[in-house]
């Protein structure tokens, strides 16, 4: 009788064990947790929601191709809170078969806290932040900011072109094309390297709704905002559900003093 | 007292630092931060231990199983006595044990306990969370398009062919357990004799959701 019981227990344990995604199986990824890392600038009075997809294609020297994709759903309310529903099926393009559960990042500059929610385990990591940078009304778009950074990188050649205004996914967007040339020998390269970034920046949303970047070192990358909805997202999206267990993060570590 | 002397004489994580050690913590922000992270880790581990302590089988179940085992194997100290309730008790105890084990497997083994330990407190030393790029920028050195370390801690390794992290970019962190062999596929150098081992790794996701950098958070962050 005891043998039957022991066998039953083992079968039951094996069944339950096998139902946990990725657990204990060699070669698989396993999700442990998440943490909001560093919030971007706060943008107020420009609420929206959108799907954000990024595709990267790199052609290797032998003709082989590496194609990576990532998708997320992004929300922002009028107070500048953001919610990022990140699919981890490919873990940001790292592994096409990672098949990890999704994670949700909430940045709440009003409360000064960030959350990383794991809906699968109904847990969240809370991080208390200082005040993130505010995006002023006349803040430059990504193209101008990029140009400012790159202008300090002599002796690279930078060229900026205005591409006019287009309506992309229902919003007006100003296009800029930024061309950076790394001269031969700058990074050990025999020939000049040309990097072209085309960004379509929405002054209403304060985001680039379409970015195309071509860099021979990293391949071609396209980031698209689609299904843009400019209505105010429900406030509940920026709150942690009541049944989630919250653990506190130690927060960002200060930079060690140089000795 | 310098930092090395402090850590050589530091008490176990979770304990209070003595006066002469506390004075070093007051003077050294780096050690103070590391010390607080170790304390947080110890607190998290104690929390996990407390939570798992309640998952053991009730005493009566254990007693019932012991009695049933002795009845089967003839280990009773008293003369064996045939009674009608012994098989009932054995089956009931076994059923209760199965329920307890099932609950333990279904609820206790889900990775809820591990996230309770803050991601900012991995089992290692050194800077443990993302540093703000602005801190680097304040140093006056211009950002380098090829060097993503301006936006991350020193222990992050930029993924091959990943785009750089912009100074004001919204980035997030995901911690995963991954076989070392997978790290080879990412273009990282891994010791061949330990490819079957698993390691904990933090993956930095950019605002576009793409992975940008990775670091190993156990074993001192070493990939070898």
Query: Is B131 near chain A, with CB under 8 Å?
Result: yes
CA-to-CA dists, residue B30 to A104, B18, B109, B125, angstroms: 31, 18, 35, 11
Matching residue, tokens 């050649």: A157
B193-219 in b/e form (b: 16+ CB < 10 A) is eeeeebbbbbbbbbbbbbbbbbbbbee
pLDDT score recorded for residue A139: 41
Token couple for A144 = 């101008």
Nearest-Cα distance to chain A for B18, in Å, is: 23
Nearest-Cα distance to chain A for B191, in Å, is: 16
Of B134, B165, B168, B209, nearest to A41 (Cα)? B168
Across the interface, which of A2, A66, A245 has its CB nearest the CB of B112? A245
pLDDT score recorded for residue A73: 95
CB contact under 8 A, B209 and A213: no
The CA-based angle A131-B125-B150, given to 5 degrees, is 50
CB contact under 8 A, A29 and B178: yes
| Bridge-based pairing state of the strands A245-248 and A123-128 | parallel
Across the interface, which of A94, A105, A249 has its CB nearest the CB of B119? A249
Q: Where are the beta strands (DSSP E) in B165-223?
A: 171-179, 198-205, 211-216
pLDDT score recorded for residue A9: 52
Token couple for A109 = 């500059």
| B11-37 mean pLDDT | 76
B182, pLDDT greater than 80: no
**Residues from chain B contacting residue A29 (CB–CB below 8 Å):** 176-178, 182
The ipTM assigned to this model is 0.71
What is residue B48's three-state secondary structure? helix
| Bridge-based pairing state of the strands A113-118 and A207-215 | unpaired
Q: If you ran DSSP here, which 8-state letter would residue B188 be given?
A: -
Beta bridge partners of B200: B177
For the domain spanning A2-20+27-249, the CATH number is: 2.50.20.10
CB contact under 8 A, A30 and B29: no
Of B131, B150, B149, B123, nearest to B34 (Cα)? B123
pLDDT score recorded for residue B222: 43
Q: Which of A208-212, B83-87, B131-135, B143-147 has the highest average model confidence (pLDDT)?
A: A208-212
**A-chain residue closest to B150, CA distance:** A255
pLDDT score recorded for residue B119: 52
Interface of B with A in 169-188 (CB under 8 A): 169-179, 181-182, 185-186
Q: Which range has the worst mean pLDDT, A9-13, B26-30, B174-178?
A: A9-13
Whole-angstrom distance, CA of residue B49 vs CA of residue B42? 10
B209, pLDDT greater than 50: yes
Query: Is A125 near chain B, with CB under 8 Å?
Result: yes
| Confidence category of residue B165, pLDDT binned at 50, 70, 90 | confident
Q: Please, what is the average pLDDT of chain B?
A: 66
In angstroms, how far apart are the furthest CA atoms of chain B?
Answer: 87
Q: Which helix (DSSP H) or strand (DSSP E) does residue B185 occupy?
A: helix B180-185
Q: Starting at the edge strand that comes first in sequence, how are the strands of the sheet with A30-38 ordered? A: A30-38, B171-179, B198-205, B211-216, B157-158
CA-to-CA dists, residue A230 to A106, A142, A238, B32, angstroms: 19, 21, 16, 45
CB contact under 8 A, A100 and B176: yes
Query: Is A12 near chain B, with CB under 8 Å?
Result: yes
Q: Which helix (DSSP H) or strand (DSSP E) does residue A196 occupy?
A: strand A193-202
- Residues B144 and B206: beta-carbon distance below 8 Å: no
pTM: 0.59
CB contact under 8 A, A187 and B146: yes
Higher pLDDT: B137 or B107? It is: B107
Across the interface, which of A37, A121, A256 has its CB nearest the CB of B115? A121
Residue % of chain B over a pLDDT of 70: 51
A&B contacts, CB < 8 Å: 233
Token couple for B115 = 């996230």
pLDDT score recorded for residue B130: 40
| Confidence category of residue B123, pLDDT binned at 50, 70, 90 | very low
The CA-based angle A11-A16-A19, given to 5 degrees, is 125
CB count in 10 Å sphere of residue A243: 6
| Bridge-based pairing state of the strands A157-168 and A171-182 | antiparallel
CB contact under 8 A, B120 and A12: no
**Residues from chain B contacting residue A82 (CB–CB below 8 Å):** 170
- Residues B130 and A45: beta-carbon distance below 8 Å: no
Higher pLDDT: B165 or A161? It is: A161
pLDDT in tens, chain A (259 residues): 555 555 555 544 444 444 444 333 445 778 888 888 777 889 999 999 999 999 989 888 899 998 888 899 999 999 999 999 998 877 777 777 777 889 999 999 999 999 999 998 999 999 887 655 444 433 444 444 444 444 444 556 688 999 999 999 999 999 999 999 988 888 888 999 999 999 999 999 999 999 999 998 888 999 999 999 999 999 999 999 999 999 887 654 433 333 3
């Amino acid at each position: 009788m005891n043998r039957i019981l022991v066998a039953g227990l083992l079968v039951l344990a094996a069944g339950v064990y096998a139902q946990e995604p990725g657990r204990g199986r060699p070669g698989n990824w396993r999700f442990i947790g998440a943490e909001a890392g560093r919030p971007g600038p706060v943008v107020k009075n420009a609420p929206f929601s959108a799907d954000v997809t990024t595709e990267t294609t790199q052609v290797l020297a032998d003709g082989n191709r590496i194609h990576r994709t990532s998708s997320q759903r992004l929300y922002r309310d009028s107070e500048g809170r953001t919610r990022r529903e990140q699919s981890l099926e490919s873990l940001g393009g790292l592994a096409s078969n990672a098949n990890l559960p999704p994670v949700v990042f909430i940045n709440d500059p009003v409360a000064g806290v960030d959350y990383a929610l794991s809906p699968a385990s109904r847990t969240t990591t809370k991080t208390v932040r200082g005040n993130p940078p505010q995006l002023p009304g006349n803040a430059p778009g990504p193209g101008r900011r990029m140009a400012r950074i790159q202008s300090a990188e002599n002796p690279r050649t930078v060229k900026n072109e205005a591409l006019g205004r287009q309506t992309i996914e229902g919003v007006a967007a100003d296009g800029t094309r930024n061309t950076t040339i790394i001269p031969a020998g700058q990074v050990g390269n025999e020939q000049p390297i040309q990097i072209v970034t085309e960004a379509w920046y929405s002054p209403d949303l304060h985001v680039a709704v379409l970015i195309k970047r071509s860099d021979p070192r990293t391949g071609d990358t396209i980031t698209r905002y689609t299904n843009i909805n400019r209505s105010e997202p429900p406030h509940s999206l920026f709150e942690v559900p009541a049944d989630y267990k919250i653990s506190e993060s130690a927060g960002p570590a200060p930079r060690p003093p140089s000795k | 007292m310098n930092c090395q002397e402090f850590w050589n004489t530091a008490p176990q994580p979770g304990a209070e630092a003595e006066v002469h050690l506390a004075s070093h913590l007051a003077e050294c922000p780096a050690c103070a931060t590391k010390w607080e992270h170790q304390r947080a880790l110890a607190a998290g581990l104690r929390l996990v231990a407390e939570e798992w302590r309640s998952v053991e089988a009730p005493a009566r179940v254990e007693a019932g199983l012991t009695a049933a085992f002795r009845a089967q194997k003839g280990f009773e100290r008293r003369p064996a006595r045939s009674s009608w309730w012994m098989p009932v008790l054995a089956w009931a105890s076994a059923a209760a044990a199965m329920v307890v084990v099932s609950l333990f497997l279904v609820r206790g083994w889900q990775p809820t306990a591990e996230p309770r330990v803050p991601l900012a407190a991995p089992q290692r030393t050194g800077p443990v969370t993302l540093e703000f790029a602005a801190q680097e920028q304040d140093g006056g050195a211009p950002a380098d398009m090829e060097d993503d370390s301006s936006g991350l801690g020193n222990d992050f390794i930029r993924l091959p062919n990943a785009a750089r992290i912009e100074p004001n970019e919204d980035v997030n962190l995901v911690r995963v357990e991954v076989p070392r062999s997978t790290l080879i596929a990412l273009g990282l150098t891994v010791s061949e004799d330990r490819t079957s081992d698993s390691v904990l790794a933090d993956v930095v996701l950019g605002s576009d959701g793409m992975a940008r950098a990775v670091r190993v958070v156990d074993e001192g962050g070493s990939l070898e």
